Each structure stands twice: as C-alpha cells, then as structure tokens.
Chains A and B, each alone.
Chain A
Amino acid sequence: MGLLIRLCGISAILFVMGILLFIVREAAPVVVSGRVSLVQFLTRPEWFPTSEVHRRYGALAMIAGTFSVTGLAMLMAVPFGLGAALYLSEFCPPRPKEVLKIVMELLAAIPSVVWGFIGLTVLSRIIVTLTGAPVGVNMLNGALVLALMSVPIIVSIAEDALKAVPDSYREAALALGATRWQVTWRVLLPAARHGLLAAVLLGVGRGVGETMAVLMTTGHAVQMPRSVLDSVRTLTANIAAELGEAPAGSDHYRVLFLTGVLLMVITLAINVTADLIVRGVKRS
C-alpha cells in the first residue's frame, strides 16, 4: 500500500514531465530542422499554414490577440473582482456573504462552451446594437466573456488574501478612529497586496488558457488588433480550430504543438509566480 501511495504521490511529477516532454518532442523537429524559425514564429504576424505558394508560420498576431483579449478582460474583471472581494470580506453581513460566495462558486462552474454560446448569441447582438460595430464577435465580446469567467477566481483568491490580514491590523486602525473605508484603503490593501496580485495573476492565467469561449466569441481573424471592436484570434483558439486538420507529423502539426509549448510556458510562469506570492504570504 505504501508503495502504491508513493507512486501516486509522484504521479503528478510524472504527468507534468510527460506532458512537457511530449509536446516539446512533437514540436522540436520543426525548429531543430530549421524549417520554421523561432524568431519568425514569435515576431511575424503572417499565418499561412496551408498555403500552396508560400507557407508562413508567424504567431505574432495571435500572441497579440491573446494578450489584448486577456488584458481588456482584466481591465474589467480586476476592479469588479477586487471590489466584490472587499465587499465580501469587509462590508458584507455574514448571511448574505455565505449566499454570495455560493453564487460566485456557481458562476465559476459555468462551462466555457456555455459562455461561448452566450457570447455568440446574446452578447454579440448587444454589442452590435450598443456600439454599432460591424461584427458582434470581436475582442470586446471575448473580453467580456473572459472577464465574467475570471471574476469568481479573482474574488475567491482575493478574499482569502484579505482574510489572511490579521484582525489586529483592523482593530488597531479602528481604535485610532479610522473609518472602515480608511482601514480598507490604508491598511488592508497594502497589507494584502501580494495576495491580491496573485489573484489577478491567476485571473490572467485563466484568460490566457481559455479556449472554447474565446474560440466562439472573438471572431477568429488573424490580424493585429487596432481597436476593441476588431475581431482577433487567440493562440488557444487557433490550436482548437486547426489541430484536427494538420496531418500528424507535418510542419503545421508541429507548429501547433510549438504554440502549445508557448502557451504552457506562459501559463506556467504566471501560475508559479502566483503560487510563490501566495506561499510567501502564508509564510509571513
């Protein structure tokens, strides 16, 4: 039994190494052989994976798409997420608080394909009506959906961070005659800033990694975004749209795995940073 437990214990390592090795192994030949240059992949926006005249694998437009959609989503989600976390942890009476936390949890459980469907059918029409954009599936739509998806994570982690601030801080500030708002602004936010940062980072991680919702709502156009009403394509959506087509072993297939490696590196960096920050908070 002990052996089995030990084996399962290190299974996580095996799986992570397995995934990493596997996608790197699938991606490597195309880079090593020099058929696709890494520099071109990262700096050119031209993506013509099946061209008959000149195949080009430039992911820059999609990298820009991923970060612009995620960035815009965070612009909306962070204030709301932190605001809601502050409300829940500092201002809300206990019973509504329980209810709100459950609502948040249910919100987090809505599947991404349902979000995508909502964006495609409901939000796109609202966006066209309100902004006069020519097409309702665009960066704004994707960002709205992503914001709604990442808010519950931000709220839950941020609330934990606020809860971790010792009550003695609050009491000391209140005893000095500070109002609750002053306590929040002057004491809690600075004291919990690492945890709040981690909350935001995890929200970003979720945004970068999200696939189906973004695939259905961003309009899926390879172009450098110039306005929030432009359609864009993200790295994840691109893999989802093209993975099936690429014959296994072809350059195209390998470049898609290369995109996977890139995504993995980005999310890994974000998640590990967030975890280090959270861990630092716990230790102190």
Chain B
Amino acid sequence: MSGGTASPQPFAPTAGLLARRRRERLARGVFLAMTVLMILPLAGILGYLVVRAWPSLSWSFLVEAPARGMREGGIWPALVGTIDLVVISLAVAAPIGVLAAIYLNEYARDNWVHRVVNLAVITLAGVPSIVHALFGLGAFVYAARLGYSILSASLTLALMTLPVIIASTREALASVPRSFREACWNVGATRWQTIRAVVLPNSIGGILTGIILQVSRAAGETAPIMFTGAVFYKAVRGGTLLPYRLDEQCMALSMHLYTLATQVPNVRPSIPYATAVVLLAVVLLVNAAAITLRLRVRTRPKW
C-alpha cells in the first residue's frame, strides 16, 4: 500500500506523509505491544505456577489419594470425579444439543418459533454459572429429589454446556453447502436421510470440536457443582477406576483446588500449585486436541 515512490508530484512523500507513516508504524507497534503485554505476564504467571508446583508433580501425585488431612498425597479421587462429571454431563448435553442444532438449522423455518429458540439459546448461554448453581440446587437436588449427587451436578453442568454445543453445532451444520442437500433431495431422500447421509458426515469434525471444547469448560467449572454434588473429601483408595456411584457425591479437581486454597491449613505449599497445574493441563490439553482436530479438518480440500 505504501507504493508512493518519490516523484515530484503532490503524492510525493511530503513531511505530512512521512509523519503519517511514522504514525502508522507507531500504531502498529502500540497494538503489537498491547497484544504481547497481555500474553507475556500471563506466560510468566503460568511459568511461576509450574515452578512452584514442581516438587509435587509426579505420576504418584496423579494416582494417589490425598493423605494426612489432604496435606500430602495426590489427587486421584478428584481427578476421577472430574472425569465422571464431564463424561456424564456431555453424554446428556451432546445428543440434545446436536439434535437441537439440527432442528434449528435443517427443520425450522425462519418464523417466530425459530427466533424464540434463538433468543432462548443466547439467554441460556449468558446465564451466570452461579445462577445455574441456584437452579441446580433448587431443581435437581431439592425438587427432583436427586440429592447432592454426581447426577445433580452433571445435569447442572449439562444445562450449562448445552447452549454452546447448540451454537457450535449449528455453525458446523451451516458450513455444509445447500447444494449438497438439494442434490440429495432430488434423488428422493427424506429430510432425515439427507441429514444422516450428507449433512452430518460433512460437519462431524466441527460438531466434535465444539463438544470437545465443552469438555474443558465442564472440567473447569466450580460454582455449579459446589452446591450440587462436589464434596470436600471422600475416602477413596488411590487408583480405583470407578470409585463413585451416580447417587453419591464426588470430589472434583476444581473444587479440590478451591478447598486447598481456602480451607486446609499447613498444607505442603507445592500441593495447591500442583493441583492448579494439573487442572490447567487437563483443560489446555483438551483444548489443544480440539484445535488440532479443527486444523486437520480445515486443511481438507474445500469445495
């Protein structure tokens, strides 16, 4: 764009133009600095967390149960609890979310129902997590008589992840060109056959990416499970694969970090940091997996 080579015309690099170019370089520098300033301190803090956590980070930290009043030992029960919560909540939210998105994108006409559903999805996505906790406590724990349990907590989490799954699935579905569908209809396929044979296969990568991203979100949430099914401590032997029943409460990584930070006295200093690092690692790895999946899917030839 700065194609103005020197020529004795009005467009020659006058003092004014040079000043403007300087301003451009300045702007570019400032914006770059802003971007970097945001990321660098954060990288610093994350590095600090890892350094503080280092003495406790080991395989046995992952697979052992907490010991000596949670001042030592590992985080196994919390890790398993988080996995349980995430898997069950997504097993509920993913099918509903995907079907809802199919409805919105493939079936619904652009009428008021469609608009209301849209509005509902946006509203649901904006509900603060603590309000989900209010609802989960009142509706699942008390009204539905599920008690404080993994089930109550998972359902609360499912409700929280649902709108985002709907949104991401819709985007994936919308990326399939209409001509694909029309070709299918023209050979006499029904709407559902078309969806199954053409639309879903062409959008499954995007749909899965959206769902995987919600794995990390569900794993990190604390407020919705704090009042519905996460406990301070539960006696579980380290390494047990399936220690919880659905109607019991469980420990969870996020909750464990919170209690270590606020409740357990004289804990070995590296343990809360190590718990934070493990939680972060779980979330970031899952996200990285989703991003890789998306990049892989994206690099396929486009039509």
Residues of A within 8 A of B (CB): 1-2, 4-6, 8-13, 15-19, 22-23, 26, 79-80, 83-84, 86-88, 91, 100, 102-103, 105-107, 109-114, 116-118, 120-122, 148, 151, 174, 177, 179-182, 184-185, 205, 208-212, 216, 236, 239-240, 243-244, 248, 256-257, 260, 263-264, 267-268, 270-272, 275
Interface of B toward A, CB cutoff 8 Å: 1-2, 4, 11, 17, 20-21, 23-24, 26-28, 30-32, 34-35, 37-39, 42, 45, 48-49, 95-97, 99-100, 102-104, 107-108, 113, 116-117, 119-135, 137-139, 142-143, 159, 162-163, 166, 191-192, 213, 216-217, 219-223, 226-227, 254-255, 257-258, 261-262, 272-273, 276, 279-280, 283-284, 287-288, 291
Contact A120:B34 (CB < 8 A) given known A111-B254, A267-B127, A271-B122: no
| Contact with B113, one of A1, A10, A110, A239 (Cβ below 8 angstroms) | A10
Query: Would A111 and B130 be within 8 Å (CB), given that A184-B27, A240-B226 are in contact?
Result: no
Partner of B276, one of A5, A114, A180, A268: A114
Known: A12-B166, A111-B221, A243-B227. A267 touches B117 (CB 8 A): no
| 16 pairs from A and B in contact (CB 8 Å cutoff) | A8-B100, A9-B99, A9-B108, A12-B121, A12-B124, A83-B34, A84-B34, A105-B291, A107-B39, A109-B283, A111-B220, A112-B221, A112-B223, A122-B48, A179-B24, A239-B130
**Considering only CB atoms, which chain A residue lies closest to B288 in the complex?**
A106
Contact B283 A111 (CB under 8 A): yes
A23 lies within 8 A of B134 (CB): yes
Contact B128 A179, beta carbon cutoff 8 Å: no
Across the interface, which residues of A come within 8 angstroms of B104, CB to CB?
Answer: 9
**In the complex, A180→B28 CA distance in Å?**
9
B137 interface neighbour in A15, A106, A151, A243, Cβ under 8 Å: A243
Chain B residues closer than 8 Å to A16, beta-carbon distance: 120, 123-124
Tell whether A181 pairs with B20 under 8 Å between CB atoms, given A114-B280, A117-B257.
yes
Contacts A9-B104, A12-B117, A182-B20 given; does A122 touch B128 at CB 8 Å: no
- Residues of chain A lying within 8 A (CB to CB) of residue B222: 111-113, 211-212
Q: How far is the CA of A120 from the CA of B259 in the complex (A)?
A: 13
Which chain A residues border B97 with CB–CB below 8 Å? 8
**A212 x B125 contact (CB < 8 A):** no
User: How far does the alpha carbon of A107 sit from the alpha carbon of B4 in the complex, in Å?
Assistant: 41
Instruction: Verify A87–B28 contact, CB threshold 8 A.
Output: yes
Which one of A102, A122, A236 lies within 8 Å of B130 (CB-CB)? A236
**Shortest beta-carbon distance from B236 to chain A in Å:** 21
- Are A260 and B261 in contact (CB-based, < 8 A)? no
Kindly name the residue among A12, A15, A17, A208 whose own CB sees the greatest number of chain B CB atoms within 10 A.
Answer: A12
